[in-house]
Structure 1
Amino acid sequence: MRKLLRSAVVSAALCGTTMTSPAAASEKVFGPFVVDDAKPDVIVMNGDIDVGSALNFRRALHAAPGAKLVTLNSSGGAVQMGLLMADDIRERKLATYIPKDSACLSACAYMFLAGVERKVDGKLGVHQISSDASDLVGAQLTISDIIDVLNRFDTPVDVLSVMFKTPPNDMHVFTPEEIEHYKLNRTGGEPMPSTAAGTPAAPDSSLPAPDAMSVTGPTTQRATSDQPHSTETAVITTPTPQTQAKLSPIEEFTKRPNRIAIYTGLDLFGDDISSIRTSDAAECAQNCLVMNGQCKAFTFNANPKITKGPNCFLKSSAGRADGNSIAFSGRFLSGADADPPTFALGTIDPQSALFHDVDFRGGDLSPRPHSTAKTPIDCRLACVDDSRCMAFTYNYSKKQCWLKGSIGTPMPGKGMVSGVKKFQNFSPAKIISLN
């Protein structure tokens, strides 16, 4: 089984690195700007600002007429080009975003500050202008242009002061505290300053960032089989669609999946949207990915003996984590999500930790059977959920579940099943980029 799961990881890794939407994506490059047909609402900037950048930005805007967001990663460059592009950003009412591991420095900062909505997750840096020519009049005119443009973006005077006090051979990178203090981030729910034409921009509603994976949340599915999500006897609850507030451009971008965390031996239980049959875990992941963000996670039943019925379960959330050695799961992560940490989980693996026709005598947590666990799976999960429970015995004929504080004496017990808990650490076997 371990060999099977390792093979599945390799298969998913190899296939996952080339996952795309059904139509092949086509990129257009204009200097430092990239427009992707698969993401027509985003213009990506990655490179220095030179004398041709303003024209290249116009070309990118023409290629992406529906653009709402510019992502920025640049060490700066030509000041006048930066100011011209900042004017275009403001005129088009575009949002600006500095992703994690990206930096927007020097002349790039003008472009960031032009955003009607803006957010820093990377680095934002400013300093004085520099020039090889000793043209004092020209330098003063350039500073005047900078002040004029940034004032139209309602840039705080303190930010201008920091900019003009920082020597050109140095760089002031704003700290998270300064970003908050100077209100450099501007969300879709905040009042927008007037545009260049003098018309107030309409704000978008905002939603909170997605939560990290829950490992103790309630489940909406109970099966009578301990195969991961065996749907021949499972009851699937499909979530009722709910109306959501419209996301702002930055929220839309940061919530898109950009990588997938792969787990072996972990069953994400419940919150199923649908169940299908696929040839392998990579195909299961692909079916989740193409659902345009509705599918957040999946579990694949890697048992080769199950030849009929669904083996891929697509989920609206990561649901509840449960240990199962033949389960193979993935959780899609967005740019707003940190890499998931290692977490500890008490498990009773239905493939290796259950003993049929065995009774664990003694060690009961209570003189009475568990009040709500009426099936073997309910009994197993009740023990998993109780930190005091180390084992259980379930009596089929009496439909009784006995939770054990210690592992009792194993005795023959026809019509009984017992299980032993162990604690495991789970961390992603691999995190695969989807870019």
Structure 2
Amino acid sequence: MRPFIIVMAVLLQAFATSASSAQIQRHVMGDDDNSLTYFTLQGEITSGDHFDFDHINDKPLVILNSVGGNMETAMALGRELRKADARAIVRKTEVCISACVFVFAGAVDRTVFGRIGIHRPYPTRTGDETQEQAQQEFKQMKSKSQRYLEQMNISVSLLNEMIRVPSSRVHYLSDGELAKLGLTGKDPAYQYKQDSEDAARYGISRRELLRRRRKSRAKCSSISAKYHPWKKVQCEDATMWGLSVSEMKQRQQLVRTHCTKQKYGDKGQALKCQISIMQNGLNSQ
């Protein structure tokens, strides 16, 4: 799987488009042998919008640039993202406002370079109604929003912040607010699942995985992800294997030679071969 940090470095250079017309599009970057499929959601979210994640081998990547729209549809789109373990980005100069935030919340990995804007959700229906009807409608909206955010493991404090902002205004969340509300980074349940998978991939315990992650952050944080993305990825991966970058490259070449799926006829056995060589070298075979 292509490292996500490189994916971001490429996509952040893509041109920004207007958020005035609603559309969800599927894009393919690169050739057949080395391609990246990603999706963009542009403009107003309307009833019937949905993502077509069929035939995607990797976890989908979704770029959001929307001023909001239909809240029910936004939640349905967010659930589609969650079901597919999708990642979401708001690029620099672009926005995710109002109902779009519910879509963004559905992603299991969320990154913001642009702006996230919130305000009080409101119904699209118009016409006269009594105070009692308005109160009931507001309570239903609040209940649906709260239930959805809880399902996405997002702090219900986000809903409280939304309600404080009149629907006619927009409050753009600071980096600190985004972090406090849990809108950036990985979903905690997804992180739990990924930790288990990564520990198995490296052939180590979960505790050792977390220790090496801390070491990786300390060792590789000075390398710019923007200007040297591949160098940063190599530093992080080598640290996770407990190797130097040169040792990791040598053992990766051995893995490509000795641990093919065709040789073992079984993906699980090929993985065991990979872990064995990456941990102990060719002498383990």
TM range (shorter): 0.5 to 0.7
Return the alpha-carbon distance in structure 2 between the equivalents of residues 147 and 34 of structure 1: 29
* Corresponding position of 1:109: 101
In the alignment, the residues of structure 2 paired with residue 76 and residue 211 of structure 1 have an alpha-carbon distance, to the nearest angstrom, of 29
Which position in structure 2 is the counterpart of 1:210?
225
Residue 92 of structure 2, aligned match among 94, 100, 106 = 100
Instruction: Check conservation: 1:86, 1:114, Cα contact below 8 A.
Output: yes
Displacement after TM superposition at 1:161 (Å): 1.2
Distance apart, 1:92 and its partner CA: 1.2
1:88 and 1:175 map into 2 onto residues whose CA distance is 27
Structure 2 length-normalised TM: 0.55
| Divergent runs of 4+, >6 A | 204-207
Once residues 226 and 97 of structure 2 are traced to their aligned partners in structure 1, the CA distance between those partners, rounded to angstroms, is 31
**1:53 maps to 2:49:** yes
Q: CA deviation at 1:244?
A: 5.8
State the SS of the aligned residue for 2:183. coil
Cα deviation for residue 77 of structure 1 reads 0.1
Matches within 5 A, 1:146-157: 146-157=145-156
Does residue 140 of structure 2 align to residue 141 of structure 1? yes
> 1:87 matched to which residue of 2?
79
2:247 paired residue number: none
Question: Which of 5, 24, 29 pairs up with 1:33?
Answer: 24
Larger Rg: 1
Counterpart CA distance in 2 for 1:67 and 1:40 is: 11
Instruction: Give the TM-score, by structure 1 length.
Output: 0.37
Query: Is the Cα–Cα contact under 8 Å of residues 126 and 163 in structure 1 kept in the other structure?
Result: yes
Which structure 1 residue ranges, 5 or more long, are not aligned?
1-30, 214-238, 247-435
Contact 2:28–2:38, Cα closer than 8 Å, also in 1 = no
Structure 2: distance between partners of 1:98 and 1:107: 14
The change in CA–CA distance for 1:211 and 1:200 in structure 2 (over 3 A counts) is closer
Corresponding position: 1:121 with 2:116: no
The count of corresponding residues between Structure 1 and Structure 2 is 179
Richer in strand (by share): 1
- Deviation by residue 1:166-221 (Cα, 9 ceiling, x = unmatched): 1111111101232233342115xxxx4336xxx943157787543659xxxxxxxx
1:157 Cα deviation from its structure 2 partner: 3.1
**Matched residues in 2 for 1:120 and 1:179: separation?**
9
From the superposition, tell whether residues 126 and 92 of structure 1 become closer, same or farther in structure 2 (CA, over 3 Å): same
Which runs of 5 or more structure 2 residues have no equivalent in the other structure?
A: 1-21, 30-34, 199-212, 239-285
Q: Give the counterpart letter for 2:68 in structure 1.
A: G
Q: Give me the whole-angstrom Cα distance separating, in 1, the residues matched to 2:146 and 2:164.
A: 14
Separation in structure 1 between the aligned mates of residue 56 and residue 179 of structure 2, nearest angstrom: 32
Measured after TM superposition, the shift of residue 43 of structure 1 is 1.3
| Contact kept? 2:53, 2:60, Cα under 8 Å | no
Which residue matches 1:163?
Answer: 162
Change (3 A) 1:139 1:36: same
- Structure 2 letter corresponding to 1:80: E
Does the residue aligned with 1:76 lie in a helix, a strand or coil? strand
SS of the residue 1:154 aligns to? coil
Q: Which residue of 2 aligns with 1:263?
A: none
The structural deviation recorded for 1:63 is: 5.9
CA RMSD, 1 decimal? 3.1
Give the number of the structure whose residues are more often helix, by fraction.
Answer: 2
Aligned counterparts, 1:256-271, within 5 A: none
Indicate how the Cα distance of structure 1 residues 37 and 129 shifts in structure 2: closer, same or farther if over 3 A, else same: same
Kindly provide the amino acid, as one letter, of the partner of residue 225 in structure 2: P
